[in-house]
Amino acid sequence: MPLSANSHPLETLQTNSFQKYLPEIIERVGRAASFPLDKRQSDRLAFYFSELLKWNRVTNLTGIKDMETLVIKHLGDTILLLKQIHSHTGTIKTILDIGTGAGIPGLILKLITPEFNMVLAEALKKKCSFLRFVVARLALKNIFVEEKSIGPANPPKHLPENGFDLIVSQATGSVRWFIETGIDFMAPSGSMVLLKGPAGESELKKNVEFLKKKGLCYDLIRTRLPILRHQRLLISIRQEK
């Protein structure tokens, strides 16, 4: 998607300047998170964020307008999630991202770890158009964009026979909504991980009894966003054994 014909020359200059320093910003986030990224990963991420910048000027895909902050937050959040995935004792092959928006965290996860089989669920057409564009341009395999609001009565089209190994979402809806929306699609040995800000802890505590009634247990991982040091919570939910 080209920049709008009404773009101001200064805005175009700022866009080009940001794209020039994208690889440096990406490398800095990976280093700060103790998660070094190789050239192929960095190149894919640079393409993604560059296109997100272009598209966002024409159609609002994200509320974060400062592009450096956008990269730090979205890439940083995804790396925090990916490090949690790496610490998982089981094998994770299939992932569902509920309400992925502009591909956060699901598409970024796929760009870093291509072997994941990924389903991105998003209700807004303009965001799905962007996701499909990136998937097509980077020739990504085993990733599906589903333009829908999924739920118990509206399952993902690409639902694995035994459910997803991992279901994720970044601050989309409440803890209870996330569970009620995705629990039917989780594999028996799978898990659900919700990325939240500091308010997520009190919200989780309000739903402890609800989790118990559903036969679920949880882990609460407190961490901080690389560079910006904002507090982050990863709420990991799974079936009680």
Q: Give the tens place of pLDDT for each residue, 213-231.
A: 999 999 999 999 999 999 9
Do residues 77 and 170 lie in contact, with contact meaning Cβ atoms separated by under 8 Å? yes
Do residues 158 and 134 lie in contact, with contact meaning Cβ atoms separated by under 8 Å? no
Burial of 41 (0-12, 13-18, 19+ CB in 10 A): middle
Distance, CA of 5 to CA of 78 (rounded, Å): 33
Residue 49 binned pLDDT confidence (cut-offs 50, 70, 90): very high
The owner of tokens 């700060």 is 32
The residues spanned by each domain of the chain are: 9-239
Strands of the sheet with 216-224, listed across from one edge = 143-147, 117-122, 94-98, 164-170, 186-196, 231-239, 216-224
Q: Give the tens place of pLDDT for each residue, 102-156.
A: 999 999 999 999 999 999 999 999 999 999 999 999 999 999 999 999 999 999 9
9-239: which CATH architecture? 3-Layer(aba) Sandwich (3.40)
User: 216-224 and 231-239 as β-strands: parallel, antiparallel, unpaired?
Assistant: antiparallel
